[in-house]
């Protein structure tokens, strides 16, 4: 990589801030995926209420877990963030479609912001791609 396109190293504060900001959506997504794998009655009732077939729970859990795993691996974290953006966008659209209150459909939006904010703080590749100051 040419010297003028290399990114500066991430400070310890930014690195730890990014890790903390990334941890919340990762924990929430892992919790959500585990619910899809275990399929307790409240989760299955939620699927029906949102208009999804109960048979999709396992597949959606696999997609959610795969996207989250890609996000956790430093080499594939940007791809993981892109895929999680699509997944969380679908969750937001689903909640809006069924008329859930603001407090329900804002959660995936906040998680998406944390996914990208945490990644921006901890990954110099993203900082080089999206410089916030000149």
What local confidence, expressed as pLDDT, does residue 65 receive?
Answer: 98
Q: Where are the domains of the chain?
A: 11-126
Closest CA to 61 of 37, 29, 38, 81: 37
Contact 60, 36 (CB under 8 A): yes
Nearest Cα to Cα of residue 95 among 57, 64, 58, 52: 52
- Over the stretch 1-16, which tens digit does the pLDDT of each residue have? 444 445 578 889 989 9
Quick: pLDDT tens for 40-72.
999 999 999 999 999 999 999 999 999 999 999
pLDDT tens column, 96-119 = 999 999 888 899 999 999 999 999
H helix or E strand, kind and range, residue 5: none
């Amino acid at each position: 990589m040419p010297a003028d396109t290399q990114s500066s190293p991430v400070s310890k504060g930014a690195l730890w801030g990014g890790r903390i900001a990334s941890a919340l959506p990762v924990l929430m997504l892992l919790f959500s995926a585990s619910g899809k794998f275990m399929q307790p009655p409240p989760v299955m009732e939620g699927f029906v209420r949102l208009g999804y077939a109960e048979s999709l729970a396992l597949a959606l859990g696999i997609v959610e877990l795969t996207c989250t795993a890609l996000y956790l691996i430093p080499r594939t974290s940007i791809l993981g963030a892109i895929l999680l953006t699509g997944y969380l966008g679908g969750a937001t659209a689903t909640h809006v479609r069924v008329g859930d209150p603001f407090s329900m459909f804002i959660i995936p939006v906040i998680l998406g912001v944390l996914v990208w904010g945490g990644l921006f703080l901890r990954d110099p590749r993203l900082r080089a791609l999206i410089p916030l100051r000149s």
